[in-house]
Amino acid sequence: MGQLNDLLIKAAQPRESEYFLADGEGLYLRVRPAGKVWIYRYKYMGRTTKLSLGAYPTVSLSAARKKAREEAGRRQEGVDPRAARRKSVSALRG
């Protein structure tokens, strides 16, 4: 990890369509007209999956990297991070 820095992130301007800036190891910054969001991309069962890690600047670059490493750790344990998140959200809802 480590291709992005705060200057590059702040300089990223919205375009008509969204685009991604790669940081490495599956962490991307999705730049949309409405704002910037951290995305963790990974493959699970042969399919590419995206998991949102939060909006920038609420979630800083260092926090997004930490979250991406945590999700990568879950994947190494054989857990699908997206399915785990959905399960925890439904448990909170009751």
Residue 1: which domain range? 1-65
Task: Please name the helix (run of DSSP H) or strand (run of DSSP E) that holds residue 90, with its range, or none.
Answer: helix 81-93
HSE of 88 in the Cβ direction (CA atoms, 13 Å)?
7
Predicted pLDDT at 1: 63
* Sequence-distant (≥ 6) Cβ neighbours of residue 93 within 8 angstroms: none
In a domain, 85, yes or no: no
Domain assignment present for residue 92? The answer is: no
Kindly report whether the global pTM for this prediction surpasses the value 0.95: no
Q: How many domains does the chain have?
A: 1
The pLDDT tens digits for 16-58 are 999 999 999 999 999 999 999 999 999 988 899 999 999 999 9
**What pLDDT is stored for residue 89 in this prediction?**
81
Domain membership flag for residue 55 = yes
pLDDT grade for 75, boundaries at 50, 70 and 90: very high
